[in-house]
Amino acid sequence: MIIVYISLALFIGSIIYLAFFAFKTFKETKPTIENVTETVTRIQAKTDQIKSETDQLAMTQQEITEDVQYKKEAVQYTVDAAKQTPEPFKHIWFSIKGDKLKLRNRSDA
């Protein structure tokens, strides 16, 4: 019967020993766990900020692309309209422009 009591005492002693070191280990690792949690929180905040900035840059890029496309179409419309200018008007324009150049050349000489 003594062996049973000794075994029971050893079992209870080992449970108390286990609980003591488990509590001690938890207490020692708690600051480290809190530090890791804070670090993860900061990294998540930075990640969210970068994602927000990326989204804003993508929207700005889209707006710039649309603006460039609009301006390109406007210039292309003007170029197409100029290409469709009738030949007689071109001759008149060049003759007037040419006359001005002839007058300038005469005054320079």
Summarize the confidence of residues 78-95 as an average pLDDT. 76
Looking at residue 55, its pLDDT comes to: 96
Model confidence band, residue 16 (pLDDT cutoffs 50, 70, 90): very high
Concatenate the DSSP letters of all residues of 9-60 into one string: HHHHHHHHHHHHHHHHHHHHHHHHHHHHHHHHHHHHHHHHHHHHHHHHHHHH
Q: Please state the domain extents for the chain.
A: 2-108
pLDDT at 41 over 90: yes
Tokens of 93: 């324009």
Question: What's the pLDDT at 108?
Answer: 55
